[in-house]
Amino acid sequence: MSHALALALSILLTGVAHTVIRKGAQSAANAAQSLFNPYTIAGYVLFGLVTLLMVYAAQIIPLRSLTAWSSLSNVITVMMAVIFLHEKPHPLVYSGVALITLGLIVFFIG
């Protein structure tokens, strides 16, 4: 597997893991049940996979690029929350997404 593909997959899976954990927290009656909810456990397993993919990607990709690209996971998490959980983010969240996107553009142009 290409290191760039591993990075892209880890960014996408981070958003999926956050969304799945959020779904587990919403469907549980109390905090103890949310810890052992199948959604929550699946989210933690995904985070373990994300860690392995990031370690693999970090073998070749420079750390400065790795960290910059990783910020996209925040954008993907917001998008998945809106699409799959039907959440309505605060307008400042959209400002944050715009700043992350602008920061990536500036980082890679300059």
Q: Each residue's pLDDT tens digit in the chain (110 positions)?
A: 799 999 999 999 999 999 999 999 888 778 888 888 899 999 999 999 999 999 999 999 999 999 999 999 999 999 999 999 999 999 999 999 999 999 999 988 87
In terms of pTM, does the model score above 0.75?
A: yes
pLDDT at 34: 81
Using a CB cutoff of 8 Å and minimum separation of 24, what contacts does 87-92 make? Answer: none
Distance separating alpha carbons of residues 75 and 67, to the nearest angstrom: 14
Which strand (E) or helix (H) includes residue 44? helix 38-57
pLDDT at 41: 94
Question: Tokens in use for 7?
Answer: 């990075």
